[in-house]
Structure 1
C-alpha cells in the first residue's frame, strides 16, 4: 500500500503581493461565491526550490530548469580547449536531447530550447561528458539511443523527484510528481487594494512643487490555507530507491513549507510570514484536503483562530463520516503547543517507514 503524508497550513500575510497576476495585482479566485486572494501552486513550488532550506540541506541534489543548456555546453567545451565551431556542433546534438532548439541568435550565435527543461545534476554531467566525446570525434548513436546516454528515469535530483517534469519529445523520461501542491487561498473573503504613491526629487529647488514620480501598486492581506500531499513511495522511487535522501528531502520540505513564501514585491512589503498552524498526517488511505472548511468564508473574529476551528471541525466531521483513517499525526499551533522540529521529525519518520 502507498504511504501518504499530508500537510495543512494556515499562515497570515500582512499587506503584501507575493504572487502577481498579469496586471500586477495579487492573484485571486472565487471560492464558494466569495472573492479570495490566491497564491498559485507554481509560485509556492518555486519559492520552496529557491529557499535556503533546500539550498543548504539538499546541496548537489537540485535540478536546473533552463532553456540555456546549449550555451552552457559551448562554454564548457571552449573552456577545455575545444574550438568554438566544434563546441557548437557538439552542443547542437546534446542540447536537442532535452527539446527542440530555436534558430541561432544572429549576434551571439547562441541557441535556446523551445521548452524549459528540468535537468538533474547527473544528467547535466552526462550531457557535458557526451558533448566532450562528440567534440573529440567519437562516434555516438543517434536519436533514441543517444538520449539513453543522458536521460534518466530516476536519480538524485530531489526537486525533480518531488515536483516532477515533462519532456514532450521524450515522454519515457517524464517524472510523475511525488509532491502535490494546492493553490493557497484565503480562508475568508478578501480582495486586492490599490496603493497610490509618490516619490520626491531630492534635487528639487525650494520653489518647485509636486512629486517627481507618481505610481500605483496592488496588495492584499489574509489568512491563507495551504495543502500539500506527498506520495512517499513515489518519492523514494523517483530517487532510485535512496530512502535516506528522500528523508532528507522531506525534512527540508517540511521546514521550508513553514517558513517560505513567494517573493513578489518583497522589498516593497517585507512579508516574511511563518505558519501559525500546521497539521501533518500520515496514512495509507486515499488523500483528502480540508479546503471544504473554507468554502463558506470565515467571517467571525479573530479570523486566524476561527480558521483553525473551522479546519479542525471539518476534519472531525469527515472522520465521523468516513472513519478516522489518518491515525498518525503531528501538530504545531503557535501559542498552544507543538514545534516545527516535531513536524519535521514526523515527516522524516513517515518517509523512512514507507
Structure 2
C-alpha cells in the first residue's frame, strides 16, 4: 500500500469573502512580500466534512462536534419516559467523559465547556450507560468510565481523518490521518471594500431620501493553491482496520475537497467554486508541500496556465534533486479532454487500500 496520498488543488474564486477574520475582513497572508487572500485549514475542513459529497457518501460514519451531548442524553432518556430530573442527573454523570462541564450557562443542560468530537459508536455507548445509570447500576469513575464510552478507533471517518484531542484522556486521542494546509491565492490581491445600502420599502416619498441601512464588506478574488496530505495506513488504523470504509472515505474526501467552499458571505457573492486543476500523487517518499512555487506571485493574464506550469516545475525540481518520485500520479484539468474526471481521480486516490 502506498503510504501517502498528496493532493495539489488550484481553485479559482470569484469576487468573494469566503473566510473572515475577527473584523469581518477576508483572511490574508503575506507571501514573498505580497498580500494574498487566505482560507484557513479549519474552515476548509468543516466545508469538506459537511459537503454533500462527503456527508451523504459516509452517512452513519461521521461524528458530531458539539457541546450538547448532555442535551442529547437527556432527550434520549425522556423519550423512554425517564423523569427529567433523573435524566439530567444521568447526563451530568456521563458527559464529563467528553469534557469538563460548563458551569455558567444552563447547568441543567449538562453542556461541556469545549466542543467534543463524538462518533456514532460513542454516542450509542453514552446512551446505553445513561440507561444503565437510571436503572440503578453503579458506574465506574473518571478514566474507567471514559474507556466505556470513548474509542481509540471506530467507524467515524471524519474523526479518523481530522483527529481529536482529549486533554484528560490522552491515550484515547486520535492522530489526524489527513493534513490540510491553509489555502492562499497564487496571485497578489488587493482587498477592496463594497459600500452597500438597504432601502426601506415602506418609506414614503415625503420622508428623507436616505437609505435604511448602510454598511461595508471586504472582498477579493484569485486562484487558490491548496495542499493536502493523507497518511493512508494511519487512516485504516484509525478506522479499526476497515480498509473498505477507508477507501470510501478517501473517495468522498477527494470529491468534497474539489467542490467544497466555506460559506462566508456566500449569499452576497455566490462563490460556488470547483477545483480547475488537481494533481494527485501516491507514494512512500516524504511528502512535499509545493507552496514555494508561488512565493513569487503569478501575474497572469492566464493565471491557471501559469500556476500549473509553476507547480509542475516546482515538483519536478524536487524530484530531480531529491529523487522524490511518486509511485503513481493523476491529473484533473478542466478544459483538457485527456485529463482525468473527478470519479477517476477519486478512484485513483483510494486504489490499493
Give TM class, smaller chain: over 0.9
SS of the counterpart of 2:149? coil
Distance in 2, matches of 1:81 and 1:300, equals 66
Distance in 1, matches of 2:182 and 2:134, equals 46
| Alignment partner, residue 345 of structure 1 | 347
TM-score of the aligned structures, taking structure 1 as reference length: 0.96
The count of aligned residue pairs is: 350
| Alignment partner, residue 48 of structure 1 | 48
The 5 A counterparts of 1:163-202 are 163-202=162-201
Contact 2:27–2:37 at 8 Å: present in 1 too?
Answer: yes
Structure 1 runs of 4+ off > 6 angstroms? Answer: none
| Alignment partner, residue 117 of structure 2 | 118
Give, in angstroms, the shift of residue 2 of structure 1: 6.4
Distance in 2, matches of 1:32 and 1:268, equals 31
Give, in angstroms, the shift of residue 306 of structure 1: 0.8
Give, in angstroms, the shift of residue 207 of structure 1: 3.4
Q: Deviations over 1:194-227 (max 9, x none)?
A: 0001111112222331212111111110000000
| Alignment partner, residue 334 of structure 1 | 334
Q: Deviations over 1:100-152 (max 9, x none)?
A: 1022646x722311111100000000000001101110122212211111110
| Alignment partner, residue 303 of structure 2 | 303
Contact 2:91–2:110 at 8 Å: present in 1 too?
Answer: no
The 5 A counterparts of 1:82-231 are 82-103=82-103, 105=105, 109-208=108-207, 209-231=209-231
Give, in angstroms, the shift of residue 338 of structure 1: 2.2
The 5 A counterparts of 1:61-76 are 61-76=61-76
| Alignment partner, residue 236 of structure 2 | 236
| Alignment partner, residue 282 of structure 2 | 282
Contact 2:9–2:226 at 8 Å: present in 1 too?
Answer: yes
Contact 2:95–2:110 at 8 Å: present in 1 too?
Answer: no
More displaced, 181-190 or 81-90?
A: 81-90
SS of the counterpart of 2:143? helix
SS of the counterpart of 1:148? helix
Runs of 5+ consecutive residues of structure 1 not aligned to the other structure: none
TM-score of the aligned structures, taking structure 2 as reference length: 0.96
Contact 1:104–1:110 at 8 Å: present in 2 too?
Answer: no
